[in-house]
Amino acid sequence: MKALVKNYIGGRWVGAQAGRTFDSRDPATGEVVGRCVDSGPEDIEEAVNAAVAAADGWRRLPAPRRGEILFRVAERLIRDKDTLARTVTREMGKVLAEGKGDVQEAIDMAYYMAAEGRRQFGLVVPSELPDKSAQCVREPVGVVGLITPWNFPIAIPAWKAFPALILGNTVVLKPSPETPVTAALFVKALEDCGAPPGVVNLVLGSRAELGEALVRHPTVALISFTGSTATGGKVAVEAASRFKRTALEMGGKNAIIVMEDADLDLAVDGIIWSAFGTTGQRCTACSRVIVHREVKERLTRMVLTRMATLSVGNGLKPGMDVGPLVSHAQLERVQQYVQVGQEESARLLTGGKALSEGEYATGHFFAPTLFDRVTPSMRIAREEIFGPVLGLIEVTDLAEAIAINNDVDYGLSTSVYTRDINRAQRAMRDIRTAVVYINAGTIGSEVHLPFGGMRRTGNGHREAGQAALETFSEWKTIYVDYSGRLQRAQIDKE
C-alpha cells in the first residue's frame, strides 16, 4: 500500500485536520498514483500561520544565503529528474520527454533565481538637495499564496516559488488536485535542500474551498494564480475586495500565421508541435492556423499527412507523441467543443472523437483533430478548448491575418511564418500578444525572459526573468539627510 501523501506545514509532513483523503490517478491507465490528504480551510489557516511565523527570520537571512538553498535545489532536481518526470507523466499524462522538459524548466528557474541572491539590484541616485543621499531597495511583500495548475506541475510552482523565496517571501502552495504527488516531491526537494520550517508550506486538497480560503485569508499579501480565465476573474474580485495584490496568468487562444512565402515544411513542424504537444493542454498551445489562401490547400494536406503519423498512447511508452487528456471532465469538454464546431458548420477533416477501445479503454484519450472552413466568429475560433483541436482560417493578406489574430479575448502567444523581413517587422509591431515568434511555434519560453499575456490572459504581471522580481517585491525608497538642518524638497531648491 502506498504511503499517504501529506501536507507540509511548518517543517512537518502532516495530515488534513478533517481526516479526509482523495486519490490522484494516472489519466492513461486509471491507476492510483497516490492517496493524498484532502484539506480544508482550517489547514490553510495552519499553513499561513506557519508562513507568518517564519517570515521575519527568512526575510533577514542574507539573500546570498537564500540563493545557496536554491542552487542546491537545482542540483537535487537534476539528480531526481527521471523520477520526477515519470511522476509528471503518471499524474497528468504528458509524454515522458515533455515530463523531463517540465522538470528542466524548474532546474533553469532555480539556477536563474538563485543568482538573484547576489543581484537584487536597487537604485542609488543623486538627491536634489545637498548633504543628502537617496536610494531604493526591494522589500518582500510577506506571505504569498501560490495556486498552480496541473499542466506544468513542476515548472509552474518553480516559476512562482523561486522568485518569491529569493526575495525573502514565505509561501503557501496550493497545487491542482490532479497533480498533488508531483507537488509534494517538489516541496520535498526544497525541504531536503535546507528551506527552513515554515518558509515553504504545501496544502493538498480536491475542493474549491481550499483555494478560496487562501485567496480570502487576510494575512496573505499576494496571490499568484495560473489557471482558467473564469477562475482567475473570481480570484481578482475576491482579492481586490481585500486590497490584496494578484498576479494572474490565465487562458490563451493562440494562432500560427502562415503566409504564402513561408517555408511550409518548417511551418508544419511548428504547427504539429504547438497544437498537439502536451495534447494541446498548454496556455500557449496553437488552436488556430491563420493561413494565406494561396498555400492553404497545400498546407492542409501536409498537416493531415503529419497528423496521421502521430502516436497516441500512454506517455511512459517509448515513441509516443500525444498522451491522454488529464481527466474525463477534460475529455468531455473537448468532445463538446468538437460538437460545437460541427454545429457551426466547420468541416471536420480528421479526429473529433475519444479513443476508448483496446489500449485506450482505461484512459482519457482523444484523437488529434483538425477543422477546416473555420471563420473568426465561430466559438472554436474564439474560446480556449485546451485539447488537441486545431482550426484552419483562410486569409488574403498579412493585415487580415493580424486583425483576426488580435480579435479574441486572449493575448498570449502568436507565431508568424514568412521569409519576408518587412512582413516580419510589421507583424512584430502590430500583433497584440505578449509573446511573438517568427518562424517558430507558439510554445516554448525561456526563464530569463518575461512570460505572461495581454487582455484576458493576465492582469499585467509577468512571470520569469527580471519581471518576476517586480511581482514578488515592493520598492522601498530611503533618504538619508546628513546636513544637520531641516531641508524641504522642492521648497528649498530656490
User: Which residue out of 260, 283, 286, 384 is catalytically annotated?
Assistant: 283
Q: Is 193 a catalytic residue?
A: no
Alpha helices in 350-411 (DSSP H): 398-406
- Under 8 Å between Cβ of 43 and 17: yes
CA distance linking residue 443 with residue 445, whole number of Å:
7
Q: How many helices (H) and strands (E) does the chain have?
A: 14, 23
Amino acid (1-letter code) at residue 25: R
User: Which residue out of 46, 98, 116, 249 is catalytically annotated?
Assistant: 249
Q: In angstroms, how far apart are the furthest CA atoms of the chain? A: 86
- Under 8 Å between Cβ of 170 and 198: yes
What separation, in Å, do the N-terminal and C-terminal C-alpha atoms of the chain show? 80
Q: Which residue, 33, 45, 256, is CA-closest to 150?
A: 33
Q: Which residue, 439, 419, 417, 438, is CA-closest to 429?
A: 438
- Under 8 Å between Cβ of 78 and 190: no
Q: Is 286 a catalytic residue?
A: no
Sign of CA dihedral 183, 187, 188, 189: positive
**3-class DSSP state of 286:** strand
- Tell me the catalytic residues: 249, 283
